[in-house]
């Protein structure tokens, strides 16, 4: 940070070159070195807050997709168990039917 003598020298140069008063130069320096950084920092903070909210939204959406996929996998698992049971029952029924037909045909001869 420049000291008071440097600021006074710069203010004197501006005053000599452009006809600005020392007060105008000091106000200009205050605006450039104090107010402008504050405005820039506020803008950056708002940008970071907006980015954070977008990331949170994306993560929430991803979490929802994950939970939906878990539910889908559980449903498919249950469906596959039901299908396996159905195949087993049908196989047993077909086997019994084949045995009954075999027995019936053997008796009929």
CA–CA separation, 103 and 95 (whole Å):
12
* Lowest-pLDDT range of 6-20, 69-83, 86-100: 6-20
Quickly state the pLDDT bin for 1 (edges 50, 70, 90): low
Q: Are 32 and 14 in contact (CB under 8 A)?
A: no
Q: Report residue 22's pLDDT band, with 50, 70 and 90 as the boundaries.
A: confident
pLDDT score for 27: 82
Residue 62's pLDDT band, with cuts at 50, 70 and 90, is: very high
Q: What is the DSSP string of the chain?
A: ---HHHHHHHHHHHHHHH---HHHHHHHHHIIIIIHHHHHHHHHHHHHHHHHHHHHHHHHHHHHHHHHHHHHHHHHHHHHHHHHHHHHHHHHHHHHHHHHHHHHHHHH-
CA distance 67 to 49: 27
Q: pTM for the whole thing?
A: 0.51
Indicate if the pLDDT at residue 35 is higher than 90: no
Position with higher pLDDT, 53 vs 29: 53
Q: What is the average pLDDT across 25-40?
A: 84
The domain segmentation of the chain, as residue ranges, is 4-108
CA 3 to centroid of chain Cα atoms:
46
> Residue 20 has what pLDDT?
63
- Mean pLDDT to the nearest integer, 35-63: 95
């Amino acid at each position: 940070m420049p000291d008071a003598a440097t600021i006074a020298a710069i203010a004197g140069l501006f005053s000599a070159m452009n006809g600005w008063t020392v007060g105008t130069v000091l106000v200009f320096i205050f605006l450039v070195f104090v107010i402008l950084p504050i405005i820039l920092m506020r803008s950056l903070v708002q940008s970071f807050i907006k980015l954070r909210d977008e990331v949170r939204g994306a993560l929430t959406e991803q979490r929802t997709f994950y939970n939906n996929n878990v539910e889908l996998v559980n449903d498919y698992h249950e469906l596959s168990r039901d299908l396996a049971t159905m195949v087993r029952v049908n196989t047993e029924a077909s086997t019994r039917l084949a045995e009954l037909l075999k027995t019936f045909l053997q008796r009929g001869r």
